[in-house]
Amino acid sequence: MLIRDATHADLPGILAIYNEVIATSTAVYAFEPVTLEDRAAWLEARQARQFPVLVAMEADEVLGFASYGDWRGAWAGYKYTVEHSVHIRDGLRGKGIGRQLMQQLINEARQAGLHVMIGGVDADNKASIKFHERLGFAPVAHFNEVGFKFGRWLDLVFMQLLLSYPK
């Protein structure tokens, strides 16, 4: 498996993973699938801000992707904090792909001089919470019933990783 920066050629694979996550889980609180044009605009916006979009590849197939971006609308005071996402193709979760993507993403955030990485995780997604804890993230907030999907209210947990420490 190879982890590298995403290109436009990877967008169909990224799109398939993302839309499967939207359709089948509460990992993303969206209802409708997104378009290839939407994912292209997302990739271009991330690249324009010099935020990484990483893909895990094997035999020219996208196995998963990870990225980070602005947290809280890029207000100047939050410039050292980012929010990440990581998604793995159905049938391949729990095999270490997400861990490898996240380790690379965390390394890139540290090299960029960032201070905090945040992840928003559905509170019922115990596997994702444990995944983040194994990477050093700690739960720092629990928001009750802030989302609604599949006919039910959803709680959101914020997980935080300190990337650097004050000098």
Q: What is the pTM of this model?
A: 0.95
State in Å, rounded, how far the first CA of the chain is from the last one: 37
Confidence of residue 166 (pLDDT cuts 50, 70, 90): low
Q: Which residue has the tokens 């650097």?
A: 164
Give the tens place of pLDDT for each residue, 115-129: 999 999 999 999 999
Determine the 3-state secondary structure of 82 from DSSP: strand
The CATH number corresponding to 2-162 among 3.40.630.30, 3.40.50.2000, 3.40.50.300, 3.40.50.12280 equals 3.40.630.30
Instruction: Report the distance separating Cα 7 and Cα 133, nearest Å.
Output: 30
